[in-house]
Amino acid sequence: MSGEQRKRRRLAMTLTAVLFLGILELGEGELKGDYSKISGIIIPGFASTQLRAWSILDCPYSPLDFYPLDLVWLDSTKLLSAVNCWLKCMLLDPYNQTDHPECKSRPDSGLSAITELDPGYITGPLSSVWKEWVKWCIEFGIEANAIIAVPYDWRLPPSMLEERDLYFHKLKYVYFLVHSVFATSAACIAL
């Protein structure tokens, strides 16, 4: 699927979700209504969340070490120059899904965790995930606090997501928060 097809698919899904919420009306070929009442929760797809280092890892034979909050997924510089260290931060134990003893990684938070996986002049456009969709929402006048990303550690199975990160409790809380603040149902968008 090409990038243009993905954009069209996202746009169609978003418009469908918005129309189902009953906030906007389709009339005379254009959408009419109050965009400030729209709210949405984004659950990113597989490998669509930035992961950050949550420990210090000294990488021998490389000028690049890993420090807390350093980008791990997807930092192309560290991936190409410190492969062994990068793998320690990325791979989980295959039996119990725990982190490597020397390096721990956790999902980033907020919209910045899902817009571009590897921000940069060259790599940014190549790793753009939700950036165009968020820009589109801004153009329509949707409030910044009405779009909430709920990133997760995509390396874990669902049971471990809840056990280690309390992910589903957090997701339930976010949905409750959006519902109580905006007094409407939130469109939950997951790709």
Q: Is the pLDDT of residue 40 over 50?
A: yes
DSSP state of 55: S
* pLDDT value of position 34: 58
Q: SS3 helix, strand, coil % of the chain, rounded to 5? A: 40, 20, 40
Angle 75-88-100 from CA coordinates, rounded to 5°: 135
pLDDT-derived band of residue 15, with 50, 70 and 90 as boundaries? low
Q: Is the pLDDT of residue 28 over 60?
A: no
H or E stretch covering 41: strand 40-43
- Enter the tokens of residue 38: 């729209």
pLDDT tens, residue by residue, 85-127: 888 888 899 899 898 988 899 998 888 888 877 776 667 666 7
> How many Å separate Cα 111 from the centre of its chain?
6
* pLDDT value of position 89: 85
Cα separation of 73 and 156, whole Å?
14
Q: Is the pLDDT of residue 20 over 60?
A: no
Looking at per-residue pLDDT, the higher value among 8 and 69 belongs to 69
Rounded to an integer, the average pLDDT of 146-153 is 88
* pLDDT value of position 130: 84
Domain coordinates of the chain in residue numbers? 1-48+108-116+130-184, 51-107
Q: What percent of the chain has pLDDT over 90?
A: 11
Cβ-based neighbours of 87, under 8 Å, separated by 6 or more: none
pTM for this prediction: 0.72
* pLDDT value of position 110: 87
* pLDDT value of position 106: 92
* pLDDT value of position 3: 67
- CB-based contact 65:170 (threshold 8 Å): no
pLDDT tens, residue by residue, 46-93: 888 889 989 888 888 777 888 888 888 888 888 888 888 888 888 899
* pLDDT value of position 168: 92
